[in-house]
Amino acid sequence: LQAVVTPHATTMFRLVVASLALVGASAFMGAPVGHRAAVKSSMSMSYEAELGAQKPLGFWDPLGLLENADQDRFDRLREVELKHGRVSMLAVLGHVTTTAGVRLGGDIDLHGTSFSDIPSGFAGLAAVPSFGLVQMFFTVGFLELFVMKDVTGEAEFVGDFRNGYIDFGWDTLSEEDQIRKRGIELNNGRAAQMGILGLMVHEGLDNNPYVINDLFGLPVEFNAGF
């Protein structure tokens, strides 16, 4: 069966997605001060000074995830947010890089399938050999279980995954710079989650994930030649 999507339905779907994106973005913008003061609970007050509730975003919890939450609950949500943000940043970068035509050299399997034969986005998953998908799965599992974690036991905050091998001079930074960089990571991760969602939705709609380029007169011929 083949679904037929009319232009009207596509437009309506995009409007719904845009509305949801705005609602999601408002979660990071904060409510007006007077309203926020009226509805915040005694528990949420303890999180208003946490990293991520920063100007001009402020503290805003529209789903009430932190209602009557203890510190363990907050730390768990922060860890999930950081992990999703980091994965999303890699996803956006990978999507843009492969769409630009950048590929590894050589073959992806013993049958002569080269990396340059693999398209971007959803089509790339379908083109990767089955054993390649298995390798990806176990590689991610290995990183999750043995690398991307606090191996040394020296973590200073949630998301501080010190594995004893990679160090770009974090301890040489001042406390102010460390907090600033952590805030940048949070905001970039939040933006990337919205970004990769937008790319996936528009690719699924009409195979045009970079629809915003069309608005500026710079259309991208996505997966042209595949």
Sole residue written with tokens 């956006």: 92
Q: Under a CB-based contact definition with an 8 Å cutoff, are residues 77 and 66 in contact?
A: yes
Q: Does position 206 have pLDDT exceeding 50, yes or no?
A: yes
The band of 33, judged by pLDDT with boundaries at 50, 70 and 90, is very low
Average pLDDT over residues 185-202: 96
For residue range 123-159, list pLDDT tens digits in order.
999 999 988 899 999 999 999 898 888 888 888 999 9
pTM for the predicted model, two decimal places: 0.76
Whether the CA torsion 23, 28, 33, 38 is positive or negative: it is positive
| 42 vs 95: which has the higher pLDDT | 95
* pLDDT, position 14: 53
Map residue 149 onto helix, strand or coil.
Answer: coil
Burial category of 180 from C-beta neighbours within 10 Å (exposed 0-12, middle 13-18, buried 19 and up): middle
Q: Does position 195 have pLDDT exceeding 60, yes or no?
A: yes
| 188 vs 62: which has the higher pLDDT | 188
Average pLDDT over residues 51-77: 87
For residue range 88-136, list pLDDT tens digits in order.
999 999 999 999 999 999 998 888 889 999 999 999 999 999 888 999 9
Tell me the β-bridge partners of 107: 114
